[in-house]
Structure 1
Amino acid sequence: MRGFFLSDEELGKKDDDHKPSKSSGGLRQPNWHPARGPPRRSLKRIALVLIVATVVYLFIKNIPVLGPDARMRRPSYAYPPGLAPNAPKRPTYERPQPAQPKSNNRLSSTPERTFNGPVRFLELAPTLQAISGTRGSMLINRNVLFASSSLKSAATLLPIACQMGSELKSYVHFALMSRSDIEIRELRKVNGIDDSCQIIFHDARPDYTQISTDDRMENAVFRAFHHIFNYMHPQAILIDGSSNEEPFFLRAAQQHSKAKKNTLIELPRGSAKRLEWLTKLDSQALRMWNKIHMDILIHAVPGASGSLIRLLRSLSAADYTSSSVPHLTIELPHDIDPPTKRFLETFTWPPTHVYNPTNARHLSLRHHIPHQRISEEESSARFLESFWPAQPEHSHVLVLSPQVELSPDFFHYLKYSLLEYRYSAISTYQHWDRRLFGISLEQPLQLLDGKKSLSLPSVLKSTRSGDAADGEISTSFLWQAPTSNAVLFLGEKWMELHDFVSRSLEAKQELDPVPALLSEKLVSTQYPSWLEHAFRLARARGYWMLYPGEDTARNLATVHSELNRIPEEYATQENSKPLLADDASEEEIENVRQKIRFGTEIPLAPVSLLDSLPNEGNLRPFGDLPILTWDGQSTDFEELNSLSAKYAAEFKEIVGKCGKESADKKKEKENLSTQDLFCATD
């Protein structure tokens, strides 16, 4: 009963404290331990875990939907009957039925484009992994890519791609980056594309295209080009540059082209017909599409205002859809005719029909200050100084005489021939391009001396069976003699001509007497004096000019003779005499008659460019073209090399003063230099 009468101070103590101790001194037993309190920290941790779990559960339970339907996070795939389930197909968007609208409202025909989630390509990987045979991993290959987003643009590009693929010069690919969910097989069927087109298709559409924002589609197009580029390394990408194409696609294509520095060809409206020749080029030629640039140089002469105005009008009427408008430089004489002054006051370049959003002027007028007649050397130097290629491999100059009139398709032919004969794989592989001095738009009818006619070569026209010949047709040919009426000079050869003229003028001043190789004139005075230097360089190097056949020349340019004027440096009293004197002999009469007959111009007969070319519009390779020596004799490649080496050795010995020791030291010529021909001027 004692425990019930404890004092307040002893409340809460155990009874053991009041029991008598068995040991002396009242000490506690050694195995005694104080009692522990409740685990308060563990309780706090358990409570915290319960609170966090509750918050996470409530968040997951009420997580917001990031799209029109929660099932968008897991797209379902529908496969047509008979198709393997592992073949990727377009995702199906099974959106829930919306609430019934009011009777006076109408459902929208297009889904709301608000989705901006991550981009995935569900069908692109299999086709990219399957093109390893095209050597797409190599930077230089034979792949060409067509791409579109709009179905209208696809309908424009697919026939062009089909024609290019059937030529079997490149591996042609087509990538669809559209919002449309049309099947690839249906796209092929609608546009008449079969296996003969040799096109490799790629479905580069991302998921959820119909509900994606324009920003997401632009990002998807850029990423699609990036993936394709890594697997394919296309040498050129061709797209529809007209208003039919989607703006987001054009922006992404241009951004990717700037990022990767690849060739992007934006085809203008109507290019399927006007640029049909593009399908004849291989991948290496197309790779240079945007890199090459051509300038135009015109050397006007006094008293030829009518000819100059006619030439400028034909230039303005030409079609420049294949490239940017070239820069135009006009060399004016000291005395400018009043009609020429009035015409130049209103003349605009680029022409008004050419797209020029910045209103940039690509026209330079150069007026000669000296009034007195200039010499041949001064005229040559002054004219050649009018142009200098910034990039010799890509910059070229078209030299035009005021007597020339051009057809609307002349620029297409120039670019087509330049890309094929200078940059194509077969031309560069066989080094034919190293011999090319330039490309002429006219077909010459006489030799450079102006006395004898030029016998134009022809080839046998084969029948459809290819077993027998069916007459002869005109053909393009290679001639060692350059002309000056309408010819495109390659930038590398123009720089070499600069160096050759400079060293020739220096040698002419130092040598006494002047050797016949520098003083003898083989080119008629109806041509400018600088052509004599170009003629000597072509003979020493074995260069040739490409001339069109008669049927093609009629569609390119014609040289009018009724307003012909001789160059300034030859405009003396002697040259102003009539061609036929009153007491002329029979031989002189016959020579004048032949000269007038040879000067008959070839009239322009503008037709489609490919229609004027033989061999179904394909340019003949260098190896199939006839070759003529400088005096018009038919020859072959080996004989041309022999004649060139003989003339170069004679020139080095007589003009360059190159002895045997100098020849041993300079076994190879320097690039874009004629130093190996002139030892005395080093």
Structure 2
Amino acid sequence: MTPPPKYRDKDDLGRPKSGSSPFLHDAASNWRASTFRFRRKRRTIFVFLAICAIVYLLLHSRWWNAVLVVEDRQQRGTNDDLGSSSYDYYSSSSGRKVKPSHGKSGSHKAASADSKDAHISKFTYDGPVRFVHLYETLSRVQQFHFRLRNPHVVFIAASMNTASILAGLACEMSAAKRNVVHLVLAGRSEISIEFFKKANGMAHNDACSVVIHDARPDKAGISTDARMTLAIRSAVRYIKDYIGPTVLVTDTEREEAWFRSAVTSKAEELQIAHVTLPYDISTIPWLQKLDALSLGSWHKPAIDIVIHADAHSGRLVRLLKTLEKADYFNAPLPRLFIDLDPSTDKSVRDFITSYKWPSKDRLFVRHRILPKSSAQDDPLAFVESFFPNSENSAVLLLSPNIELSPFYYHYLFYAILEYKHSNAQSGLDPNLIYGISLDLPLTLLDGKPFDPTILSSDESPASESAKKKPNSDSPFFYAAPSTHATLFFGTHWRLLHLYLAKRLDAAYTKGVDYSLPSKISSTIPQWVSYFAELLTAGGYTMLYPNFAPSDSLAVYHPPKEASSVTARTQQDVMRSNNILNQLPNGRLPLWSELPVLGMDGTRTTIASGLTAAQKYKSQILSKCGGVKRNDGEDDSVDDLFCSNGEAVQERKRLAREHQRQRELEAQAEAEAERKALARNALEAKRREREQAEAAEKMPNKPPTPEAPVAAQPLVEQAKSPVEEEPVDDDDAPKAAGAAAAPRMPVIHNKIISLADLEDVPVEVNGETVHPQDQT
């Protein structure tokens, strides 16, 4: 074994001294080899890191990305409109053009055709696409990675006329300070960005803080439609990668076909919400008040309209005309369900037959067998008229006595996007709002008139932290539902279905007190009473408008026979779009600024409503072990009823009681039948004795053939109106036995025809004669 070198045999650096040991040469060689291997590994690591740094600089440095090239190529032969050939690519560092691989593509065919007819069209260039100025602005925008709350809104325009219109809308949206607004120019115009800003009043950043991007490709003025289509698709993809917008906004009615198809298809492919504006953008002035998350939910609401017509449905025609004339801008059209009464006039049926709104495939007419009174009294008949098919479904219940404003759908759509999807309303659970009413309530649930002056009191609004006094024209929350013109969200209508399924089952409601803290009038429909129980237990509330009477969204005209309901005087529907003018500060307020009314019509807060909900749940579940834990499911009402085990046991107990009742009824029927037989037997015995005694007293002469005594059956004798004798229960079996084997009567000293006697024995001259023996 080789001894280790001693300390004195090493130099100052710890290396073995030469000649100090016979093994020093081998040790030095090993040390140098290991050092070389370490240096070689370290040099490899350094080279790898340098290569990574160079690649990073090439991909992210500004001088490399000064020109963005098209990489949005389609597979060959898959899209004729976009072209499928490999385009030329340019490198800004070398300026060298890479020769493309030519293929048989639709775009090259179009380019060759355009080259032959150059005198007809100047859009002949179909070369490679480069964005010279796009990266310069995209690199300045900080990308937000929180996709659910991304505040970026991008307006895209190809036409300069459209771009000028969108520029004004974008500036107004930017002034609201709820979004980061971008405007993308992607057309053939060669106007500079500086000139465009000056022409539209956007030169100073203080005037408009919209970020403008130049997504026009090189040689855009002479590019073919296929090249421009590929350019706009590539620009949208770059915007998605760098900015990650929530929504794209375009005015497609003023744009060319290639632009509409390119933006629509690419937005759908990248799963970006795409909002198309109407031709007259001024008709939706509330759009710029929305944030990016609300605009991204533009296509989510799915509204169905349900009308329950009564026998006096002459006003139904007026309602249908107001629905048809209303302004639905570019929102998805609702479906319409009309529920006709059996006694509907023929003129109304003929009008509905020729009614074409919204379309024949979205109009559904149903005819009831029973009159409306039965449907109004039966909660199932009314609630079952609608069931949501998605979480974004909603039903607008309209009374035939309602007259709507042409702009009712604007308010509904604006309120849904603001209070159900907005990021600014994140402090409020959207599920607490179960609906939106279009008119003020006429009465409270107890039948007393509704007083709007309570809304302007000094009591606190929805949130305890809100210190501002609510405006007199501010919308408000009210827990009680309205039945004239009300939109109910599908999630809460589905809960009502589940609630009624158990509420009307005695197994779940035995011994439970569902009485509400507030009194409900007998004139309120029964389904509203059950709905009020569910709303109180959940702490839900409804949004009501508070517009001027002359600018109402809906006006209720009570029928003549409804003397207890009086309509408000000087009411008229809104004829012009004054929605923002009727709202405080020209917008829908934050939920924390709105006043709140409880189920009884008194001022309260959202927090107080939730506390009252817990108290009510404790009341109804006091005999079932108290309030249960929430199972966490949205579509569940199990925490409002006894447990399933208790319900099963109760259902079994009810079944046993029902079976016992049936058995008792069967025993009672058998006992009554037995007593009837006993009475009949005793009655027959008594008649036999009477007949025997009467026969002994009669003279010795033949009976008249018209009324032979023995020919009458015993059953017919039992039916004669003779006073019944009381039958003792103990003698009943004996009487039954006597009835089973009755003794045949014997007629003494009577000489009559044997044919008339049938089976009755007769004593003749002291001898008993039987008719069977004579045959």
Fold in common (TM above 0.5): yes
CA contact (8 A) 1:555 1:609 kept: no
Residues 216-235 of structure 1 mapped to structure 2, 5 A cutoff: 216-235=227-246
CA contact (8 A) 2:549 2:572 kept: no
Provide the rounded CA distance (Å) in 2 between the counterparts of 1:520 and 1:640. Answer: 13
Render the CA deviation track for 1:44-63: whole Å, top value 9, x for unaligned: xxxxxxxxxxxxxxxxxxxx
Higher RCO, 1 or 2 (CA under 8 Å, sep at least 6)? 1
SS at match of 1:127: helix
Render the CA deviation track for 1:621-660: whole Å, top value 9, x for unaligned: 110001111111111233222222111211223xxx5214
Over 3 Å counting, the alpha-carbon distance change for 1:186 and 1:558 in structure 2 is: same
Q: Which residue of 1 aligns with 2:502?
A: 503
CA contact (8 A) 2:342 2:367 kept: yes
Q: Which residue of 1 aligns with 2:419?
A: 421
Q: Which residue of 2 aligns with 1:327?
A: 335
Provide the rounded CA distance (Å) in 1 between the counterparts of 2:277 and 2:561. Answer: 40
| TM-fit CA distance, 1:180 | 0.7
Over 3 Å counting, the alpha-carbon distance change for 1:668 and 1:418 in structure 2 is: same
Provide the rounded CA distance (Å) in 1 between the counterparts of 2:595 and 2:397. Answer: 24
* Residue 290, structure 1, aligned to residue 253, structure 2: no
Q: Give unmatched runs, 5+ long, in structure 2.
A: 1-87, 93-116, 459-466, 649-775
CA contact (8 A) 2:396 2:486 kept: yes
Residues 60-459 of structure 1 mapped to structure 2, 5 A cutoff: 112-132=122-142, 134-135=143-144, 138=147, 140-193=149-202, 194-195=204-205, 196-242=207-253, 244-271=254-281, 273-303=282-312, 305-350=313-358, 361-370=361-370, 374=374, 379-392=378-391, 394-427=392-425, 429-459=426-456
Render the CA deviation track for 1:8-50: whole Å, top value 9, x for unaligned: xxxxxxxxxxxxxxxxxxxxxxxxxxxxxxxxxxxxxxxxxxx
| TM-fit CA distance, 1:361 | 2.6
In structure 1, give the amino acid aligned to 2:386. Answer: F
Provide the rounded CA distance (Å) in 2 between the counterparts of 1:484 and 1:672. Answer: 23
CA contact (8 A) 1:541 1:644 kept: yes
In structure 2, give the amino acid aligned to 1:642. Answer: T
SS at match of 2:154: strand
CA contact (8 A) 1:460 1:472 kept: no
Q: Which residue of 2 aligns with 1:488?
A: 487
Provide the rounded CA distance (Å) in 2 between the counterparts of 1:165 and 1:319. Answer: 26
Render the CA deviation track for 1:490-520: whole Å, top value 9, x for unaligned: 111111111112111113x775688562999
Render the CA deviation track for 1:297-334: whole Å, top value 9, x for unaligned: 1111122x222111111111100114121000111122
CA contact (8 A) 1:506 1:681 kept: no
Render the CA deviation track for 1:574-607: whole Å, top value 9, x for unaligned: xxxxx6xxxxxxxxxxxxxxx5556657322433
SS at match of 2:155: strand
SS at match of 2:130: coil
In structure 2, give the amino acid aligned to 1:170. Answer: N
| TM-fit CA distance, 1:199 | 0.4
| TM-fit CA distance, 1:76 | 14
Provide the rounded CA distance (Å) in 2 between the counterparts of 1:562 and 1:369. Answer: 23
TM-score with structure 1 length normalisation?
0.71
SS at match of 1:374: helix
CA contact (8 A) 2:552 2:571 kept: no
Provide the rounded CA distance (Å) in 2 between the counterparts of 1:553 and 1:397. Answer: 26
CA contact (8 A) 1:400 1:486 kept: yes
* Residue 676, structure 1, aligned to residue 639, structure 2: yes
Over 3 Å counting, the alpha-carbon distance change for 1:222 and 1:523 in structure 2 is: farther
| TM-fit CA distance, 1:474 | 2.3
Provide the rounded CA distance (Å) in 2 between the counterparts of 1:492 and 1:533. Answer: 16
Provide the rounded CA distance (Å) in 2 between the counterparts of 1:338 and 1:513. Answer: 50
Render the CA deviation track for 1:358-397: whole Å, top value 9, x for unaligned: x6531111111246963666x32122222222211x1111
CA contact (8 A) 2:549 2:570 kept: no
In structure 1, give the amino acid aligned to 2:423. Answer: A
Over 3 Å counting, the alpha-carbon distance change for 1:75 and 1:425 in structure 2 is: closer
| TM-fit CA distance, 1:342 | 2.1
| TM-fit CA distance, 1:418 | 0.5
Residues 3-14 of structure 1 mapped to structure 2, 5 A cutoff: none
CA contact (8 A) 1:521 1:532 kept: no
Q: Which residue of 2 aligns with 1:658?
A: 624
Provide the rounded CA distance (Å) in 1 between the counterparts of 2:152 and 2:560. Answer: 50
Provide the rounded CA distance (Å) in 1 between the counterparts of 2:580 and 2:362. Answer: 32
Residues 462-611 of structure 1 mapped to structure 2, 5 A cutoff: 473-507=472-506, 515=513, 517=515, 522-525=520-523, 527-551=524-548, 554-563=551-560, 595=564, 600=569, 602-611=571-580
In structure 1, give the amino acid aligned to 2:427. Answer: Q
Q: Which residue of 1 aligns with 2:590?
A: 621
Provide the rounded CA distance (Å) in 2 between the counterparts of 1:263 and 1:552. Answer: 37
CA contact (8 A) 2:479 2:542 kept: yes
CA contact (8 A) 1:446 1:598 kept: no
Over 3 Å counting, the alpha-carbon distance change for 1:215 and 1:449 in structure 2 is: same
CA contact (8 A) 1:439 1:487 kept: yes
Over 3 Å counting, the alpha-carbon distance change for 1:633 and 1:371 in structure 2 is: closer
Q: What is the aligned residue count? A: 525
Tell which deviates more after alignment, 184-193 or 555-564. Answer: 555-564
Tell which deviates more after alignment, 249-258 or 359-368. Answer: 359-368
Provide the rounded CA distance (Å) in 2 between the counterparts of 1:474 and 1:156. Answer: 32
Provide the rounded CA distance (Å) in 2 between the counterparts of 1:212 and 1:129. Answer: 26
Q: Provide the identity percentage.
A: 33
TM-score with structure 2 length normalisation?
0.63
Over 3 Å counting, the alpha-carbon distance change for 1:265 and 1:456 in structure 2 is: same
Over 3 Å counting, the alpha-carbon distance change for 1:472 and 1:497 in structure 2 is: closer
In structure 1, give the amino acid aligned to 2:309. Answer: A
CA contact (8 A) 1:438 1:488 kept: yes
In structure 1, give the amino acid aligned to 2:410. Answer: H
In structure 2, give the amino acid aligned to 1:453. Answer: F
SS at match of 1:517: coil
Provide the rounded CA distance (Å) in 1 between the counterparts of 2:516 and 2:505. Answer: 11
| TM-fit CA distance, 1:470 | 12
| TM-fit CA distance, 1:137 | 7.5
Provide the rounded CA distance (Å) in 2 between the counterparts of 1:383 and 1:440. Answer: 18
In structure 2, give the amino acid aligned to 1:485. Answer: H
Provide the rounded CA distance (Å) in 2 between the counterparts of 1:366 and 1:519. Answer: 38
Over 3 Å counting, the alpha-carbon distance change for 1:474 and 1:519 in structure 2 is: closer
| TM-fit CA distance, 1:159 | 1.0
Provide the rounded CA distance (Å) in 2 between the counterparts of 1:412 and 1:267. Answer: 14
SS at match of 1:426: coil
| TM-fit CA distance, 1:139 | 5.8
| TM-fit CA distance, 1:615 | 2.7
Provide the rounded CA distance (Å) in 2 between the counterparts of 1:264 and 1:564. Answer: 50
SS at match of 1:328: strand
In structure 2, give the amino acid aligned to 1:226. Answer: R
Q: Which residue of 2 aligns with 1:646?
A: 615
Q: Which residue of 2 aligns with 1:66?
A: none
CA contact (8 A) 2:520 2:529 kept: yes
CA contact (8 A) 1:403 1:561 kept: yes
Over 3 Å counting, the alpha-carbon distance change for 1:360 and 1:471 in structure 2 is: closer
